[in-house]
C-alpha cells in the first residue's frame, strides 16, 4: 500500500510540474501584449511566422491587423494573440515573381461604408495587367461584392507599384510602376509609372491636373511606399535601377523624371530634360540602392525615437530607416538605421492609433517563397 501511495504522489507531482511549465518549443508568448499601455519586456515580439509573402499590412478600423499575401489571400490578424482569420482568397490573382495581390486600404468611414480597396495583377490579353477593386465587408467576416474601379493598367512580373492611401479630403491615391517598360513613365496615354488619384467611388476627381485623367503625377519607376504628412503632403519611396533609390515629395501634376532623370538633376542631359518639363527632384537618394518599401509618418510617442519622422521598411538592406524632415517638409536632414539585418527583408509597416508598430517580413533573400514570413511588433528601441 505504501508503494501505491508513493506512486500516486509522484504522478500528482508530475501533473503539477507539467502544467506549470511551457511544454511547447514555440518561445513566442501567445498573448504578447496583454497590456499594450504597459512597459514591454522585450524589444520585439513575433506575432505570427506562417505567412506566405505578405505585401500589405495595415491597422484596420476594427483594431485588427489586415494583411494581403501575394498569392491572393486577405486575412485579419489579432494584434495580441496572432490568431489569423482568412476572409478572402481572390482566385483571379496572377502571382508571378513580384506580382500578385498587393496594396490594400479601408474606407475612412468604415462603419457606414464598409469598403476595402485592393490592387492585384491578373492575366489579361497578351500578358499581366493590374486592377483596382473594391470589396464590401460583411457581418459574417467575409469580403464580397468585388467591384472593379479601374482595370487594364500595364503590369509585369516586376515594377507594379500598387501602394494605396486615402487622403484627408477622401481621395484614393495609388502608385503604379513602369511595368518594366521605361518608355511608359513619360507617356501620358499610359497609366504605368504614375501616381493616380480617384474619388472613392472610382471616378476621376474634377480637380485632377489633367481633365478626364486619373494621373496625379508621372515619371515614376516603381514607387512602393506612400504616406501622408499631417499637413497633407504626400511622400513616396521609389526603387531606382542600380542607383538612386528615392524619397519624393509628391506635387500635383509634376514630373519626377524617370527614365530621363535619376535622383537629383546633376548631368547635362538631365538639366536639358528638366528645362523642358515640370520636373521635381527627389528630396533624398541612396546609391548604392537599398530597395525601399513601405513608408509611414509616425506621429505618436510610444516609440519616442521615431516621433515626427518618416519611418521606412527596407528590403535589400534589411533594415528600418528613420528620416527627419526639415520644418517645411521639403528636405530630409537626418537618416537613422534601426534593426539592421535583424529580421531579413522588410516589406511593410503598420501603426495603430496608439502608436504600436508592426512590420511584415519577406524572408532572408530575394525570391524567398517559403511560408515562414513574419509579422513582428516593435515594442521599443534599445540603445543604438
Own/partner contacts of 203-211, CB < 8 Å, gap of 24 or more, are 205/171, 209/252, 209/253, 210/253
pLDDT band at 40 (very low <50, low <70, confident <90, very high): low
User: Per-residue pLDDT for 384 more than 80?
Assistant: no
Q: What is the pLDDT of residues 335-349, one digit of tens each?
A: 999 999 999 999 999
Average pLDDT of the chain is 90
pLDDT band at 24 (very low <50, low <70, confident <90, very high): very low
Helices within the chain (DSSP H only): 2-20, 268-274
- Max alpha carbon distance in the chain (Å)? 101
Asked whether residue 111 is assigned to any structural domain, the reply reads yes
Extract the C-alpha cell encoding 239. 526603387
Asked whether residue 3 is assigned to any structural domain, the reply reads no
Asked whether residue 247 is assigned to any structural domain, the reply reads yes
User: Per-residue pLDDT for 11 more than 90?
Assistant: no
Strands 234-238 and 44-51: unpaired
Asked whether residue 315 is assigned to any structural domain, the reply reads yes
pLDDT band at 38 (very low <50, low <70, confident <90, very high): very low
Q: What is the pLDDT of residues 261-293, one digit of tens each?
A: 999 999 999 999 999 998 999 999 999 999 999
Q: What is the pLDDT of residues 148-169, one digit of tens each?
A: 999 999 999 999 999 999 999 9
User: Per-residue pLDDT for 209 more than 50?
Assistant: yes
- What does the alpha-carbon distance between residue 197 and residue 217 come to, in Å, rounded to a whole number? 9
pLDDT band at 382 (very low <50, low <70, confident <90, very high): confident
Q: What is the pLDDT of residues 305-355, one digit of tens each?
A: 999 999 999 999 999 999 999 999 999 999 999 999 999 999 999 999 999
pLDDT band at 41 (very low <50, low <70, confident <90, very high): low
Mean pLDDT computed over 161-190? 98
User: Per-residue pLDDT for 25 more than 90?
Assistant: no
Asked whether residue 36 is assigned to any structural domain, the reply reads no
- What pLDDT is stored for residue 20 in this prediction? 30
List of residues 6+ apart from 169 with CB closer than 8 A = none
Asked whether residue 250 is assigned to any structural domain, the reply reads yes
What strands, in cross-sheet order, belong to the sheet with 234-238? 223-228, 234-238, 245-250, 284-286
- What pLDDT is stored for residue 222 in this prediction? 98
Check which CATH number belongs to the domain holding 79 and give it. 2.120.10.30
- Residues of the domain holding 187: 45-378
User: Per-residue pLDDT for 122 more than 80?
Assistant: yes
User: Into how many domains does the chain fold?
Assistant: 1
Asked whether residue 195 is assigned to any structural domain, the reply reads yes
- What pLDDT is stored for residue 336 in this prediction? 98
Asked whether residue 21 is assigned to any structural domain, the reply reads no
Amino acid at each position: 500500500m505504501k508503494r501505491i501511495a508513493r506512486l500516486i504522489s509522484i504522478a500528482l507531482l508530475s501533473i503539477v510540474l507539467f502544467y506549470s511549465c511551457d511544454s511547447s518549443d514555440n518561445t513566442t508568448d501567445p498573448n504578447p501584449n496583454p497590456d499594450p499601455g504597459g512597459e514591454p519586456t522585450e524589444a520585439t515580439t513575433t506575432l505570427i511566422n506562417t505567412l506566405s509573402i505578405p505585401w500589405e499590412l495595415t491597422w484596420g478600423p476594427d483594431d485588427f491587423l489586415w494583411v494581403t499575401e501575394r498569392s491572393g489571400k486577405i486575412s485579419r490578424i489579432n494584434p495580441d494573440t496572432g490568431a489569423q482569420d482568412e476572409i478572402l482568397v481572390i482566385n483571379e490573382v496572377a502571382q508571378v515573381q513580384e506580382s500578385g495581390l498587393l496594396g490594400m486600404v479601408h474606407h475612412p468611414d468604415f462603419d457606414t461604408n464598409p469598403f476595402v480597396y485592393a490592387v492585384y495583377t491578373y492575366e489579361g490579353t497578351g500578358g499581366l495587367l493590374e486592377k483596382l477593386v473594391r470589396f464590401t465587408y460583411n457581418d459574417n467576416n467575409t469580403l464580397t461584392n468585388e467591384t472593379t474601379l479601374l482595370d487594364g493598367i500595364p503590369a509585369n512580373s516586376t515594377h507594379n507599384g500598387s501602394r494605396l492611401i486615402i487622403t484627408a479630403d477622401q481621395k484614393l491615391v495609388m502608385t503604379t510602376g513602369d511595368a518594366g517598360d521605361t518608355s511608359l513613365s513619360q507617356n501620358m496615354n499610359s497609366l504605368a509609372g504614375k501616381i493616380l488619384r480617384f474619388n472613392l467611388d472610382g471616378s476621376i476627381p474634377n480637380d485632377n491636373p489633367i481633365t478626364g485623367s486619373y494621373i496625379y503625377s508621372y515619371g515614376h519607376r516603381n514607387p512602393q511606399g506612400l504616406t501622408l504628412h499631417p499637413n497633407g503632403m504626400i511622400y513616396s519611396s521609389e526603387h531606382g535601377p542600380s542607383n538612386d533609390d528615392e524619397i519624393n515629395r509628391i506635387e500635383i501634376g509634376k514630373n519626377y523624371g524617370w527614365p530621363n532623370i535619376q535622383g537629383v538633376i546633376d548631368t547635362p542631359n538631365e538639366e536639358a530634360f528638366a528645362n523642358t518639363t515640370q520636373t521635381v527632384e527627389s528630396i533624398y537618394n541612396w546609391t548604392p540602392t537599398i530597395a525601399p518599401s513601405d513608408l509611414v509618418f509616425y506621429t505618436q510617442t510610444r516609440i519616442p525615437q521615431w516621433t515626427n519622422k518618416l519611418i521606412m521598411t527596407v528590403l535589400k538592406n534589411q533594415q528600418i530607416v528613420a528620416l527627419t524632415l526639415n520644418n517645411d517638409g521639403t528636405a530630409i536632414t537626418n537618416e537613422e538605421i534601426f534593426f539592421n539585418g535583424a529580421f531579413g527583408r522588410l516589406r511593410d509597416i503598420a501603426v495603430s492609433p496608439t502608436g504600436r508598430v508592426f512590420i511584415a517580413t519577406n524572408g532572408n533573400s530575394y525570391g524567398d517563397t517559403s511560408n515562414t514570413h513574419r509579422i513582428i511588433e516593435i515594442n521599443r528601441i534599445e540603445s543604438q
